[in-house]
Amino acid sequence: MKPKIGIQILFLLISLILIHAGEKQSNLPISREAVIIEYTSPSEVMIRATGYGISNRRFWVKSKELDLKANIDARRAALWYLIFGGTDPILKTKKEIENFKKIQNSFFSSDNIKQFIVWESETYNQRIKFDNGKKLKIVKTLKVNVKLLKDFLASNGIIESEKSIMEKAGLPQIMVVPEAKDTTTAIELLKKDPLLKKGAEAIEQSLTARGFEVIVPEQISSINNILLTRLSMVGESPDPAYLFALSIGSDVYITFNMTSSARYIGSTMVKKYAITCRAFETTTARLLGTEIGYSKERPARDAALIEEAVNNAIGKVLDRIIEYWKMDLKKGTQYRIIISCNDEPAKENSEEIFYIIRSLLKKMGNLKENSISDNIYDSMLWINSEAFAGAFDIYIHLKKKLATRGLTLDKVFLNRKLLVLKVGEN
C-alpha cells in the first residue's frame, strides 16, 4: 500500500506544480485585439478592446464569472496593444521588450492594471457566447492614462523616461506654424485667422503639458533676409515654415492645417473638424511623423471642436518626436553648417579650401555632407556638447584653425542649430 500512497503523493505534487505554472501564465492577455479610437488629451487615449472570458467548469457555467474574466482580459488587451502593438508601440527596442518580459506576469495582474484604466464603458460594443456557453467574447471601450503607463515602465527600468532625457540635454525646442501654400509668413496667417491661432494654441498647450519648450512665432519679428539668400543659393525649398523654423533655431517644427464641415440635422447645425499635424526636423526638414485628428460631429463651438481634433492627432506625433530626440542624442548635438567663399581668390581655390574645412569638421564630430558646389559647402555636424557648448564655440574654433592656414572666416548668421559662414583668403 505504501508505494501506491507514494505514487499518489507524487502525482499530487506534479499536479500542483503544473497548476502553479499555469497560474504564472494566466495574467497574460488571451486577446491581443485592440484599436485606438482617439487621444482625448496629451496623456489619455480611448481604446476599443476585445476580451475573452473562458470557464473551466463542465456544468453550471456562470455568466458573471465569464463577464468578469472577459472584462479583465479586455483591459489587458488594451494595455498590451499600447505596449507592443500598432505603428508606435511604447516598447521599440529588443532590450526594452526583453526587460518587460521579466515583469509581464506581475504587470498584467488584475490589481496592477486597474491603475492605468481611468474609465471604461458600462455597456459592450459586442457580446457573444460560444462553445456551448463556456466562452464569452466582448468588445468594449476604455480610456487609458498613457503617461502613468510610461512612468510605471520607466520607474521599473524598462524604458528611458522623458525626465531622464530632459536631464541629459533637455527636450527639443518646438515651434508650431500653420501650413502656407505661398510665401505668407506664419505671423501673418495667425493674425488673419483666429481659428488657425486657436489650432496653434491647442497644439502648444499639448506640448507644454508634456514638458517641451515652445517657441511662439508671434515673438519673432521677421525672418533674416541674409539667411533666405544663402539658403536659396544652395537650392533650398522656399517653404516659409521651414525657413522660419530654421532662422530662429528650433529643433523641431510642427505644421498643421485644418478643414471643417457643417450640416443640419433637423434644425440643428452640427460641425466636424479635421486637423493634420506634421513634425519635421528643423535642420534637414526631414519628416518625423504625420497624424490626422478628427473631432466628433456635434453642435459645439469651433474652438472646442478644434481642441478635440488636436488632442486626437498630437499624441502620436509627440511620441515620434521623443523617439527621434532619443536617437539623435546618441549622435550628439546636431548643427547645420553652410560655408560660402567670400572673395574671388577663395572662389578660385574653393575645392582646396573645402577639403581643409571638411578635414576640420571631421575631427570635431560626426559629419554628413548635404551638397558641395563651386561656391557653397553645406553639411550637417553632430558634436559632443561637452566639447562645444554651442554654435558660437564651433565658429570660433573653426576661425582659429583656418587662420593658421591663411584663411579668414566670418559669421553671416548664427543660432542654436545653424551656422551660415563666409570663408576667404588673407
Q: Domain end: 308, 328, 348, which one? A: 328
Residues 6+ apart with CB under 8 A from 244: 175, 177, 185, 186, 217, 220, 223, 253
Looking at the domain assignment, is residue 8 inside a domain? no
Query: Does residue 65 share a domain with residue 45?
Result: yes
Number of domains in the chain: 3
Domain holding 421, by residue range, is 333-425
Answer for the pair 202, 307: CB distance below 8 angstroms, yes or no.
Answer: yes
List the beta bridge partners of residue 47: 36, 142
Looking at the domain assignment, is residue 3 inside a domain? no
Query: Does residue 257 share a domain with residue 122?
Result: no
d(CA 309, CA 293): 5
Query: Does residue 120 share a domain with residue 198?
Result: no
Query: Does residue 362 share a domain with residue 321?
Result: no
- The enclosing domain of 389 has a CATH number of 3.30.70
Looking at the domain assignment, is residue 61 inside a domain? yes
Which H/E stretch holds residue 274? Answer: strand 268-281
Query: Does residue 137 share a domain with residue 82?
Result: yes
Query: Does residue 223 share a domain with residue 250?
Result: yes
Strand, helix or coil at 152? Answer: helix
Query: Does residue 297 share a domain with residue 312?
Result: yes
User: Could you give the strand order of the β-sheet that contains 407-414, starting from the edge strand earlier in sequence?
Assistant: 366-372, 376-383, 333-341, 418-425, 407-414
Looking at the domain assignment, is residue 213 inside a domain? yes
Query: Does residue 203 share a domain with residue 117?
Result: no
Q: How far is CA 299 from the centre of its chain?
A: 32
d(CA 206, CA 73): 31
d(CA 146, CA 162): 13
Query: Does residue 320 share a domain with residue 177?
Result: yes
d(CA 57, CA 62): 9
- Give, in degrees to the nearest 5, the angle at Cα 320 between 370 and 277: 90
Q: What is the pLDDT along the chain (426 residues), one digit of tens a residue?
A: 455 555 555 555 544 444 444 444 579 999 999 999 888 887 899 999 999 999 877 777 788 899 999 999 999 999 999 999 987 899 988 999 999 999 999 999 999 999 999 999 999 999 999 988 889 999 999 999 999 999 999 999 999 877 776 666 667 889 998 987 766 777 788 888 999 999 999 999 989 888 888 988 765 544 444 455 555 555 555 566 666 666 667 889 999 999 999 999 999 999 999 999 999 988 878 899 899 999 999 999 999 999 999 988 888 888 888 888 877 777 888 898 999 998 888 888 999 999 999 999 999 999 999 888 888 999 999 998 788 888 999 999 999 999 999 999 999 888 788 888 999 988
Q: Domain end: 328, 357, 380, which one? A: 328
